[in-house]
Amino acid sequence: MSSPAAGAGQPGHARDLPGATRVRVELAERSYDVVVGPGVRAGVASCLPPGARRATVVTQAGIGVEVDPGVPFEVVNIPDGERAKSLATVEEVCRAMARGGMHRSDVVVAVGGGVVTDVAGYAASSYHRGIAVINVPTTLLGQVDAAIGGKTGVNLPEGKNLVGSIWQPLGVFCDTETLASLPAPEWRSGRGEMAKYAFLGVEDLDTLSLEEQVARCAACKAEVVSSDEREGGRRMILNYGHTLAHALEATGLASEDASSPAELRHGEAVGIGLVFAAELARLLGRIGAPRVERHRRVVAGYGLPVELPPGADSATLVGFMARDKKSAGGLSFMLDGEAGVEPVHDVGPDVVYAAIDAIRGER
């Protein structure tokens, strides 16, 4: 496919779009805008790097969202769901870029959910040792979380997101028009990430419009990323609820893939992970029972489960949690406390097993 060439704007600065909200991710010379609102994907062409002559649009066949990057482009469709998050898929994308004549000055445009932005971002960070990428997230989860912050990566059989890079986009275009046709499980998956932000200082989201909700969550993530881009400390709080969630995905009980037989979607697993983290914090004396109940109310209020699915094996879950990429050599978690959510390392397995038992349906 191709489009008439258009002049690129200043990287990291999209042109003004009526009705759009801008959130700035402040990273010195790599700062960029997250643009939120209906129809904002029309601004992609204004965000291209100087000298870009070609683009590769990475997406999935069922997404059906068209984006014109303003320069000649080819479309690369990757498979759906978690099976796409592999080194083999990254190789396919990079080979397609090579066949298409992509050079270091060109750009990748990722159009889709978190799987697409993870894969496309990692491919962009690797091809020619790094070319520009622009994200157009088309799911609620992608718009409030996954497409912002530059974390890219793919899975190994041993665990989720174990291979990847920090590669910031030139811009993120959260076009809320693309959410109109999302199926209910996709909405629940995004709501799981929104529930997380309720414990990171974003209050009263349910009183806001959809655009305001996306912008508030994006602003929270932007502020955290700006303070700790490479996850050396504070940024780890964005993984709140995710340690158990990733373990559930690794065991096949949860998935980002809409076609997967797994009972839970990613955001639903995060919701359960938030309640687990609260129970673990209570057992460690960091919070009291009322705070645990608040976790349960918030998660349930988003229509998310608060208990483990049937068939969840404690030893298997603990094994995968021990391999979590933020582990410091023992069992590590993001846990609530008087100072808010923060990393807690070297948690004993006995208390972890007790917290798992506390979120079983038969308790």
Q: What is the DSSP string of 208-263?
A: S-HHHHHHHHHHHHHHHHHH-TT-SSGGGGGGTTHHHHHHHHHTTSEES-TTS--S
Compute the radius of gyration of the chain from its Cα atoms: 20
Strands of the sheet with 171-175, listed across from one edge = 21-25, 32-37, 171-175, 132-137, 107-112, 55-59, 73-77
**Residue ranges in the chain modelled with pLDDT below 50:** 1-9, 363
- Across the chain, what does the average pLDDT equal? 91
The confidence score (pLDDT) of residue 15 equals 60
> CATH assignment of 234-358, given 1.20.1090.10, 1.10.150.80, 1.10.150.120, 1.10.3720.10?
1.20.1090.10
Q: Please write the tens of the pLDDT for every residue from 160-198.
A: 788 999 999 999 999 999 999 898 888 999 999 999 999
The confidence score (pLDDT) of residue 5 equals 36
The confidence score (pLDDT) of residue 215 equals 96
The confidence score (pLDDT) of residue 1 equals 42
| Angle, in degrees to the nearest 10, between helices 289-301 and 266-283 | 170
- Delimit the domains of the chain by residue range: 21-182, 234-358
d(CA 12, CA 34): 9
The confidence score (pLDDT) of residue 327 equals 58
DSSP readout, 276-333?
A: HHHHHHHHTTSS-HHHHHHHHHHHHHTT---SPPTT--HHHHHHHHHT-TT-SSS--E
The continuous run of DSSP H or E covering 122 comes out as: helix 114-126
What is the set of active-site residues?
A: 129, 151, 193, 221, 231, 235, 239, 242, 246, 266
CATH topology of domain 21-182: Rossmann fold (3.40.50)
Residue 261, classified by CB atoms within 10 Å of its CB into exposed (0-12), middle (13-18) or buried (19+), is exposed
Q: Is 4 helix (H, G, I), strand (E, B) or coil?
A: coil
Length of the chain: 363
The confidence score (pLDDT) of residue 293 equals 97
User: Could you tell me whether strands 333-335 and 342-344 are parallel, antiparallel, or unpaired per DSSP bridges?
Assistant: antiparallel
Name the one residue in this structure whose structure tokens are 């030139």. Answer: 170
Task: Please state, in angstroms and as integers, the Cα–Cα distance from residue 348 to each residue in 58, 179, 353, following that order.
Answer: 43, 42, 9
